[in-house]
A and B are shown apart, each in its own frame.
Chain A
């Protein structure tokens, strides 16, 4: 079983709608979680991180963490075509000097 799993997509969302990206993890020792956005041909850039149960909001982005169910999600409100990218979920696992990445979800926002 992969340590961090994401639906690879593609996920297609109309402009202005809410895009919902999900991620599950297997290691209960995972302590914090990161969402990276990667445009085609570019490097990943950090957009959100979360370590407490519940929601964390930053502008149009909301990260949600449920440790009991071992899932993390990212909501993008008022989706824009510029949000079209691959979104990578990553977990920081206790005792490991590295992030464990999911395979990424490709998101397309349709005008």
Chain B
């Protein structure tokens, strides 16, 4: 375990479903991130939260809705997704100053949209 826990590990959902991904960190970090990684593509930054305030939304479609109730928890609410949204969704956390320690990633949620 890295100290960043993501649930569920695998998720299959229909295009009309609503589901949520959860991320929890036990490292005392202040910032949390959502990334998308599609097959054979680079990491795509989706959202950045600092002290539970959203500081970056990387032009993500509104069918992805993040929520950060506190510095330890991050959610990604999903609704009316498309098959091309199938990917590995990674949560990461860091201290506010990322220069020294970088990110710690969770183990990811493998999402399949059918």
Contacts and interface: CB of A to CB of B under 8 A. Distances in A.
Interface in B70-102: 88, 90, 96, 98-102
13 contacts: A31-B99, A34-B102, A43-B2, A43-B88, A44-B43, A44-B105, A46-B103, A46-B104, A92-B98, A97-B31, A97-B55, A98-B56, A99-B103
Band of interface residues on A = 20 to 34
B94 to A, nearest CB: 8
With most chain B CB atoms within 10 A of its CB, the pick from A32, A41, A51 is A32
A80 interface: no
Nearest to B44: A101
Nearest to B42: A103
A97 B48 contact: yes
Contacts of B110: 41
A41 B107 CA distance: 9
B45 interface: yes
A43 B106 contact: yes
Interface in A90-105: 90, 92, 97-99, 101-104
Contacts of B43: 44, 88, 101
A92 B31 contact: no
Interface in B48-76: 48, 50, 55-56
Contact of A92 (B45, B88, B102, B107): B102
Interface of A: 31-32, 34, 36, 41-46, 49, 51, 88, 90, 92, 97-99, 101-104
A42 B42 contact: no
B108 A51 contact: no
A97 B50 contact: yes
Nearest to B4: A43
Given A34-B102, A97-B56, A98-B45, 5 more contacts: A32-B102, A34-B103, A51-B100, A92-B98, A99-B103
